[in-house]
Structure 1
Amino acid sequence: MLNQLLASFATLPDPRCAGRTRHRLLDMLVIAVCAVVAGAETWVDIAYYGQLKQSWLATFLDLPGGIPSHDTFRRVFSLLDPQQVEQCFRQWMATVAPPLPREVVAVDGKTLRRSFDRGRAQGPLHVVSAFATEQGLSLGQVAVTGKGQELTAIPVLLRTLHLTNTIVTLDALGCQQAIARQLLAQQADYILALKGNQGRYHRAVKAYCHACCVESWAAYPADYDAFDRRHGRWVRRRAWVLPLGKELAGLHAWPGLRAIIVVETIRSVQHQPGTRAEWRYYLTSCADAPAVLIQAIRRHWAIENSLHWVLDVVFREDEARSRDRVATRNFAVLRKLAFNLLQQGKHPPGSLRTRRRNAGWSDNYLTQLLTRARQNDRATAP
């Protein structure tokens, strides 16, 4: 794992003046990743971790100039080209954990809320990420300045990922013909949430689904019908996978479109009067069974629950107060590197927070994280 990480980042250009550096760039990268895995949240934390763990780090790093200061870490990561750092990260993930066949790859954006700077009239950084939902791993990210530019980042991110034979899910912002065409060209299938931003298509699909699922319900029984009663909520979910009828003639030109998915959610909350019904609509190019498609829609939310929530709560990403745009973007990559290392392979019982604590306490445990290859776990799995 460590060798693959070093190989992926070996091509990262060093922005410093040649011959005037005391610390190797790859050494600094490994120290930073180890520190973030072990709980570091700032450049000061990273430098202090390196000083405390110098004897252990020296067992596999050269460290010709010792441990860099926190100012050196901050300055170097403020100079590194964030696009190249993100590319090296995606290359590493493509090497160690490419998406599985028919795996659901969820794509969504997240705002780093405290990365704004009013003095520079600088809004918070917005990061668009791809998440392999079955493996629970971040596949890559592309950062933009503000949520409004997310649509420009999605094609860039998708273009750099290996998506052959996967199912890519996107929210309504990504429901664009150009994105659908790009995914098909990359030999992937899509499930795109359809909302009001696609005005006439949304109205046509809504009317068509109402006619099929409400007015002609006997001819179109639900492909999925389940009840869920947890945490004081009673929820019924029904879903249909509908063929393209003649009423949707305008959608026939949509690239690769095979079916419409409609999901009805009826929710009742304890101690609150009445029930609430919600209908959601999706376009898909998949020829899979309805159960697979409906499960893929549910899996899309893993990027919120298993990645974004973890980055906020376990890694405290939203609390990070960094004003330098480049350093903030590169630190976001460090968090995802640490997240993936903690997710890879088999672990003793315990939360992700517990794994970070164990990595800080035990050099042996962190060594296992750095050297364990996920492919070995697959090979030995029953």
Structure 2
Amino acid sequence: MDKKSLFEHLSIVRDFRQDWKVDHKLTDILFLTVCAVIGGADGWDEIEDFGQIHESWFRARGEFEQGIPSRDTIRRVMSKINPAKLQQAFIAWMKTCHELTGGDIIAIDGKTLRRSFSKEHSAIHMVSAFSVKNSIVLGQVKTEEKSNEITAIPELLELLDISGCLVTLDAMGCQTKIANKIIESGADYLLAVKGNQGRLEEAFIKHFPMPAILAWSGDSYVTTNKIEHGRQEQRLYITSELFDDFVDLGFEWRGMKTLGISMYMRSKPEEKPNADEIFIRYYISSRTLSAEQFAESIRSHWHVENKLHYKLDVGFNEDQSRIRADDGSENFARIRHMCVSLISNEKTFKGGVKRKRKMAGMSEAYLEKVLAAL
């Protein structure tokens, strides 16, 4: 992605300011913010500092007729621009950069910006769709509470073209309306099942007690990994077609084809795991999955934690951000999502997110590589 492409996508964000009061163009402010956040800036002051240090570079790539805007101007503009328009620009940019394929897994999960609360509002919660294959954020929507994920997920799905993909969700997203929405979008679902779906969970508990799982003669897949203190973890994955109670439940869960069970056990090689070290989880899917495909799919779901949420917390200090005025926290969160996608896809420098951000702050040549990563 070059500067021109970035400007084209950001240009759909409408400038709320009166023309005669504008000294710094909105596209310049947005471009400066994206570049500064890539280069290590985590707040309005640091964005201004970054611009001042690299002013000649910015003047060569944007208009910046009045120089670098002040932190107050950056804060005011970024806190007042329309979040929906910034989201629209983000999603359009993602569609331009990457075409989803039928083999892609889209992991949807939420993350709370813990210090974005104020006296008037609770901390905001961002629900993101993450492409596992491409390691990019496809889009996100804001909610005021984690419990509102149920209503936010269909809204997010409405914005995306996920045809042919497999959408994975944790138990919060195990809702018939969400399953229907995924099917209507031309995709398939893989949903974790817990107590919020009582009849479904009861059917799993009834038909898949631990002895039945251990003695399973159908399709299965096992992985074993060593962990600390000489212990090991063993994971057993089994899949089944619908039968008995699940056939009737299939009328409620549109397209349901596969039942999946994962059993996680921790112990020393010479010992048997005790009850406290055995965890069983249940899943349903509208896609026919082998046990190995099921295992890979649910492991892939946690990439949204490891490759997105972890990077935002550790590499971008998101949980420490005190940006909260107006729509500033939501808009800054979208900028971080944009930047983490760019940094993750820059492969020439072998370093973590923090090192890459520092490198981009020190080297304009490397910053240009990051901007061209998608």
Asked if residue 144 in structure 1 is aligned to residue 139 in structure 2, the reply is no
2:45 is paired with a residue whose SS is: helix
Q: How does 1:1-382 map to 2 (within 5 A)?
A: 1=1, 2-117=3-118, 119-120=119-120, 122-210=121-209, 214-215=211-212, 218=215, 220-221=217-218, 223-232=220-229, 233-253=231-251, 254-268=253-267, 275=274, 276-372=277-373, 374=374
**Which amino acid in 2 is paired with 1:23?**
H
Rounded to whole Å, the distance in 1 between the matches of 2:306 and 2:63 is 39
Partner deviation per Cα, 1:53-93 (whole Å, 9 max, x = no partner) = 11011111011221110000110011111122112111111
CA contact (8 A) 1:103 1:134 kept: yes
Rounded to whole Å, the distance in 1 between the matches of 2:145 and 2:326 is 12
1:107 is paired with a residue whose SS is: strand
**Structure 1 residues 274 and 286: CA distance shift in structure 2, 3 A:** closer
Deviation at 1:347, TM superposition (A): 1.9
CA contact (8 A) 2:167 2:187 kept: yes
Rounded to whole Å, the distance in 2 between the matches of 1:345 and 1:7 is 21
Rounded to whole Å, the distance in 1 between the matches of 2:232 and 2:342 is 37
**Which amino acid in 1 is paired with 2:217?**
Y
CA contact (8 A) 1:4 1:96 kept: no
1:19 is paired with a residue whose SS is: helix
Question: What is the RMSD computed on CA atoms of the aligned residues?
Answer: 1.9
2:74 is paired with a residue whose SS is: helix
**Which amino acid in 1 is paired with 2:202?**
R
Deviation at 1:274, TM superposition (A): 5.7
Rounded to whole Å, the distance in 1 between the matches of 2:279 and 2:212 is 17
1:204 is paired with a residue whose SS is: helix
Deviation at 1:327, TM superposition (A): 0.3
Rounded to whole Å, the distance in 2 between the matches of 1:247 and 1:196 is 17
Deviation at 1:135, TM superposition (A): 1.6
2:23 is paired with a residue whose SS is: coil
**Structure 1 residues 216 and 88: CA distance shift in structure 2, 3 A:** closer
Deviation at 1:273, TM superposition (A): 11
**Which amino acid in 2 is paired with 1:323?**
R
Deviation at 1:195, TM superposition (A): 0.4
Rounded to whole Å, the distance in 1 between the matches of 2:170 and 2:128 is 13
**Structure 1 residues 266 and 371: CA distance shift in structure 2, 3 A:** closer
**Structure 1 residues 246 and 354: CA distance shift in structure 2, 3 A:** same
**Structure 1 residues 292 and 201: CA distance shift in structure 2, 3 A:** same
Larger deviation, residues 260-269 vs 149-158: 260-269
1:240 is paired with a residue whose SS is: strand
Runs (4+) of structure 1 moved beyond 3 Å? 215-219, 272-275
TM-score relative to the length of structure 2? 0.94
Which 5+ residue runs of structure 1 have no aligned equivalent? 375-382
**Structure 1 residues 217 and 309: CA distance shift in structure 2, 3 A:** closer
Deviation at 1:140, TM superposition (A): 1.1
2:368 is paired with a residue whose SS is: helix
**Structure 1 residues 273 and 260: CA distance shift in structure 2, 3 A:** closer
Deviation at 1:235, TM superposition (A): 0.7
Deviation at 1:344, TM superposition (A): 2.1
Rounded to whole Å, the distance in 1 between the matches of 2:83 and 2:246 is 44
Deviation at 1:150, TM superposition (A): 1.4
CA contact (8 A) 1:224 1:291 kept: yes
**Structure 1 residues 235 and 219: CA distance shift in structure 2, 3 A:** closer
Deviation at 1:22, TM superposition (A): 0.6
